Amino acid sequence: MRRAIAAMARTVYPARCMVCDTYTDAPGGLCPSCWHDTHFISGSTCTTCSAPLPGEVTGAQCDTCLSFPPPWQRGIAVLEYEGSGRRMVLALKRHDRLDLAPTLAAWLHRATAPLLHSANIIAPVPLHPSRFAHRKFNQSAELARPLAEMADIAYIPDLLSRTRKTQSQQGKDRIERQKNLKAAIAPTPRHRDSLKGKRVLLVDDVLTTGATLSACTEACFSAGARNVSICVLARVEPRREIPIFAATNVKD
């Protein structure tokens, strides 16, 4: 019966590309043009920020992360923040395209397999209540929840909280981003004990300088987390500057 209903739905509402609305063979897919314009991160990459590495090395870090270790243990990004990847991120975040979340979470699930076997908790980067009230949803939570379900790992949507309202990070340099997030993220009091000795996987939509994820990582460590790793849907090509996490050096 379910298959019959699904077949009828496909007849009445044919599947369309997630980016451009061109008809596709199956829901949650991309047309050939948008697929070609979606740049999945592959090959040799840094284990903590997914920056491309020369050659065919594994288990290595980029020069930046070696010189200025980020506070999290490992990090994985699925897409480059450009082309169709950027359009999907913005469609989810700014245009209420929650229908994209299951497919994007499935991509995260495949990419983050090396991190999932050791995680005890999956949690999204939090939004301030005022921003949540305006947007009506947290795009990071829309990715983290199905990821946790697919991985069968405990999901705590409010593990961390925004303790004060901050300005948008868009357009800010690394120093401004650091100041903007100072003392802005903390463990939610009722979940503080849940963090002790745990291995946390934080989920966000985009990694730019790492300011937000650094603040979240430090908040987890402040409550006694054993280690923290991150996964993001997309990674912005870094500018030639010291990343924000260079200002911190929290150890496992």
| pLDDT 10s digits, 128-174 | 888 888 888 999 999 999 999 999 999 999 999 998 766 565 555 55
Mean pLDDT of 11-28: 80
Q: Cα(242)–Cα(246) distance, rounded to whole angstroms?
A: 7
> Fold for domain 39-247?
Rossmann fold (3.40.50)
| pLDDT 10s digits, 213-233 | 999 999 999 999 999 999 999
Please, what is the angle between helix 101-111 and helix 83-94, to 10°?
130
* Closest to 119 in 3D by CA, of 138, 142, 147: 147
The pTM of this model reads 0.84
Question: What are the CA-CA distances from residue 114 to residues 61, 75, 92, 110, 200 (Å)?
Answer: 16, 10, 26, 9, 14
Mean pLDDT of 193-219: 94
Ordered by start, the domain boundaries in the chain are 1-36, 39-247
Q: What percent of the chain has pLDDT over 90?
A: 62
